[in-house]
Every structure is written in C-alpha cells, then in structure tokens.
Amino acid sequence: MATGEEDDTDRVRRPSSKKTARKTVKKTSSTRAESRESGTERAARRVSAPRAMRYASEQLEQLLGRVPESVSAVQPTEDGWQADVEVLELERVPGTTSVMATYRVTLDEQGELVAYERTRRYTRGQIDRR
C-alpha cells in the first residue's frame, strides 16, 4: 500500500468518530432545549436544586464574564428558584484582600435566569459578624 492510501483509511475512520461525538453533544443540548419547550407536562415540574445551582452559576458567568466560585444559598420560590452566587470581582495579592461579591440570582421553574442583582461586596478574608 502507498502512503496516500493509508491516509485515506485514517480519514475514513476519523469522521465517523467525530460524527458520533457531535451527535452526543447535540442530543445533550437538544434534550435540555426540548425539555423546556415541551408544553404543560414540563411546566408543572421544576428543575432540582443541584441543577438550579448549576444553571445559576453558568448563566451568571455568561452575563458577568467571571467564573463564579460557589453557590452559598439556594431556595425554592413560587416561580422557580433563588440562589446566592459568590463571584471573584477583583483579584489582589495577597488573596485574602481580593474583592468578592454575592449575586442574588432568580431562576424560573425550568432553570432559566430571570433576574440577578449584586447584594454584597466584601474582601475574601472578611468574616461576617453574626
């Protein structure tokens, strides 16, 4: 066999594995979209607390352009979920002087972000007085 023939064989194998990977990704993202779009049966069910936490972090990151560090609170509401998300706003040295912020995020029953607001700014090393 010539070198060119071996390359053709490799080319045939690669696309099939890539197609499989793409199908998996599309199924995962379309499943979430379908679950939100399916009428009344889905509207009656709310996402779980862990999913609400994950959705709150992901969507806030997209809006702020900063990676959330943690979700410090999550609670159900009549219309969905409310979560408090901790975000590093300004990194300083030493790390205990970095500026952190708490954002209150409101999600609907399907986990879509409806509103957010910054409720607190503090240094990382600060301890609440309670």
How far, in Å, CA of 98 to CA of 120, rounded?
Answer: 14
The one-digit pLDDT tens for each residue of the chain (130 residues) are: 554 444 444 433 434 433 433 333 333 444 444 444 444 444 558 899 999 999 999 999 999 999 999 999 999 999 999 999 999 999 999 999 999 999 999 999 999 999 999 999 999 988 877 6
- Coil, helix or strand at residue 17: helix
Expressed in angstroms, the distance from the first to the final Cα of the chain is 77
